[in-house]
Amino acid sequence: MEQDAQLVQQCLQGDGSAWEELVRRHTRRIFNICYRFTGNRTESEDLSQDVFLRVYRTLGSYRSAHGGFATWMTSVTRNLLIDHYRRTKRDRITDSLDDKMPVVENKESAGRRPDEQALLGELSGQVQSALTRLSPELREAVILRDLQQLEYSEIQQVLAVPEGTVKSRINRGRIELARILQHMGVRPS
Amino acid sequence: MSWTCEQTEARLSDYLDGLLQPPEQSAFNLHVNTCERCAPLVAGVAHALGGLYALEQVEAPAQLENAILTATLGAPSWRNLRRWLKSLQSPRFVYSMASVAATIVVILTASGFSFTKPKLADLHPATIYHHADRQAHLYYARSAKFVSDLRVVYEIQTRLNENEQNPATREQTVPQDSPGKQPGRTDKTNPSTPKQQNRADEIGRNLRVLAAQFPALSGSIGERRMP
């Protein structure tokens, strides 16, 4: 991702088109992290915007020698998500595991039979719902590892915790997710 | 050796990620195959992981990019303006504009436009034509005079060179009345007009007077003239 570092340099020199390119390259990824963390499109949209706003304001503090731009940006995203989680904690309704129906995603995937599509769509909705019930520290670890496919070292950098803690959180997050799904009545066939 | 439930749970992700060594793998399998608690746990986590991997990337809302750019760079019209202003900073554009400006200044100067006291009337086509015509004639006259002066100087230099080389004939080379009643001819090869001849005579006389009064100057002139 040397190109990102180059674009950042151009941005710092006042090149607006370089910033536009950075936004184009990372919007989808940041939106996905936010969406998987919150499970809400509107909130994710606002959070993504906040992420880019903060990145834009603090672009000068990015050092390419300390890691890739994507990792740095993920770190900013994670911090904002945790802030958001703490801020909305009081307002959030702490539903029991059973009284909230899982949200089924409405998306089309080419090449799948309609029945497979329906099953996958249902499972995706259930997994997303279960994901939002994980504690934030386990949720972020699982999202970064299993959805964003980040390496342990990158997750360690984003979360600013030792690699052992990263591995432990991912493991605990997966086990917890399986238990939540089991409580929701989703069992392996 | 079989593992305990705690060991199995702690290494569950390593098992699923294929990071266990062969002996660890054997111990893990041995425990899971015989433990009623861990077998469904492993199956459940594998299923959850499958569900996670099946989650597809969701498309960001179409307006999100624009909203981000508006929040950071300003409204689209302002962004376009900034982009346009940025393009003005390219060296190519600056050079082009500089050359256009220089051309305009030259044309206005030639047309007699006064930058200190600009008047709208000076920009009228008829006025510009009149001024341009006048300037052209002026420059032509100055050029003609300059060429004439050069010729005079050349005449003088030639005469002085000849005097240096043939001191005995110095008096003979002093132009007298044009030989052969041909006004303007100072020798048999270089014709010139009577007016130029007179100026050459005058300058030559002055130079000779100067050379007589200041021998050092005469020597330096001579040195410079020597090829």
* Chain B positions in Cβ-Cβ contact with residue A187 (cut-off 8 Å): 44, 47
Looking at every residue in chain A, the average pLDDT score rounds to 85
* Chain A positions in Cβ-Cβ contact with residue B16 (cut-off 8 Å): 174
Looking at every residue in chain B, the average pLDDT score rounds to 80
What are the start-end ranges of the H helices in chain A? 2-12, 16-38, 41-57, 69-87, 114-131, 136-142, 152-159, 163-183
Q: Which of the pair, B127 or B30, is modelled with greater confidence?
A: B30
| Cα three-residue angle B5-B8-B12, rounded to 5 degrees | 140
Task: Output the pLDDT for position A177.
Answer: 95
Tens digit of each residue's pLDDT (9 = 90 or more) over A126-135? 899 999 999 9
> What number of CA atoms fall less than 13 Å from residue A131's CA on the CB side?
30
Nearest to B68 among A23, A126, A128 (CB): A23
Q: pLDDT-derived band of residue A137, with 50, 70 and 90 as boundaries?
A: very high
- B90: tokens are 């390219």
Q: Which of the pair, A56 or B129, is modelled with greater confidence?
A: A56
| Span B126-130, average pLDDT | 83
| Cα three-residue angle A143-A47-A4, rounded to 5 degrees | 70
Q: Which of the pair, B192 or B207, is modelled with greater confidence?
A: B207
Going from the C-alpha of B131 to that of each of B19, B103, B105, the distances in angstroms are 91, 17, 15
Task: Output the pLDDT for position B121.
Answer: 79
Q: pLDDT-derived band of residue B171, with 50, 70 and 90 as boundaries?
A: low
Lowest mean pLDDT among A77-81, B13-17, B210-214: B210-214
Q: How far is CA B8 from the centre of its chain?
A: 72
Q: pLDDT-derived band of residue A157, with 50, 70 and 90 as boundaries?
A: very high
Residue B167 has pLDDT above 70, yes or no: no
CB B225 within 8 A of CB B160: yes
Q: How far is CA A40 from the centre of its chain?
A: 12
Tens digit of each residue's pLDDT (9 = 90 or more) over A61-109? 998 888 899 999 999 999 999 999 988 876 765 544 444 444 444 444 4
When scoring B52, B69, B78, B79 by the number of chain A Cβ atoms within 10 A, the one with the most, hence best to mutate, is: B52
Main-chain phi, psi angles of B51, to 5 degrees? -65, -40
ipTM at complex level: 0.78
Task: Output the pLDDT for position B7.
Answer: 92
Tens digit of each residue's pLDDT (9 = 90 or more) over A16-67? 889 999 999 999 999 999 999 999 999 999 999 999 999 999 999 998 888 8
Task: Output the pLDDT for position B5.
Answer: 93
Residue B136 has pLDDT above 70, yes or no: yes
Q: pLDDT-derived band of residue A118, with 50, 70 and 90 as boundaries?
A: low
Residue A189 has pLDDT above 80, yes or no: no
Burial of residue A122 (CB within 10 Å: 0-12, 13-18, 19+) is middle
Report CB contact under 8 Å: B60, A31. yes
* Residue for token pair 């132009």: B175
DSSP chain B: -PPPHHHHHHTHHHHHTT---HHHHHHHHHHHHH-TTHHHHHHHHHHHHHHHHHPPPPPPPTTHHHHHHHHHH--HHHHHHHHHHHHHTSHHHHHHHHHHHHHHHHHHHHTT--SSS--GGGGSHHHHHHHHHHHHHHHHHHHHHHHHHHHHHHHHHHHHHHHHH-GGGHHHHS--SPGGG-TTBSSSS-B--HHHHHHHHHHHHHHHHHHHH-HHHHHHHHHHH--
What residues contact residue A11 under an 8 Å CB cut-off, 6+ apart? A18, A19, A22, A59
pTM exceeding 0.90: no
Burial of residue A61 (CB within 10 Å: 0-12, 13-18, 19+) is exposed
What residues contact residue A16 under an 8 Å CB cut-off, 6+ apart? B73, B79, B82, B83, B86
* Chain B positions in Cβ-Cβ contact with residue A109 (cut-off 8 Å): 56
Closest CA to A125 of B124, B187, B200, B52: B52
- What 3-state DSSP class applies to A120? helix
Q: pLDDT-derived band of residue B128, with 50, 70 and 90 as boundaries?
A: confident
Residue B1 has pLDDT above 70, yes or no: no
* Chain A positions in Cβ-Cβ contact with residue B83 (cut-off 8 Å): 16-17
- C-alpha dihedral (A103, A188, A146, A113), degrees to nearest 10: -70
Distance separating alpha carbons of residues A118 and A104, to the nearest angstrom: 9
Task: Output the pLDDT for position A69.
Answer: 93
Closest CA to B72 of A59, A183, A65: A59
| Span B124-148, average pLDDT | 88
Tens digit of each residue's pLDDT (9 = 90 or more) over B36-92? 999 999 999 999 999 998 888 899 998 999 999 999 888 777 777 777 777 777 788
Q: Is B9 on the interface with A (CB under 8 A)?
A: yes
Task: Output the pLDDT for position A110.
Answer: 44
B185 forms beta bridges with B191
Report CB contact under 8 Å: A128, B55. yes
Distance separating alpha carbons of residues B209 and B205, to the nearest angstrom: 6
Q: Which of the pair, B182 or A81, is modelled with greater confidence?
A: A81
Q: pLDDT-derived band of residue A114, with 50, 70 and 90 as boundaries?
A: low
CB B31 within 8 A of CB B8: yes
Distance separating alpha carbons of residues B85 and B89, to the nearest angstrom: 7
- C-alpha dihedral (A39, A45, A47, A49), degrees to nearest 10: 160
Distance separating alpha carbons of residues B227 and B213, to the nearest angstrom: 25
Nearest CA in chain A to B89: A15
Q: pLDDT-derived band of residue A15, with 50, 70 and 90 as boundaries?
A: confident
Task: Output the pLDDT for position A143.
Answer: 95
The number of C-beta contacts closer than 8 angstroms across A and B is 122
Q: pLDDT-derived band of residue B179, with 50, 70 and 90 as boundaries?
A: low
| Amino acid letter, A178 | A
Q: pLDDT-derived band of residue B190, with 50, 70 and 90 as boundaries?
A: low
- C-alpha dihedral (A92, A52, B63, B52), degrees to nearest 10: -60
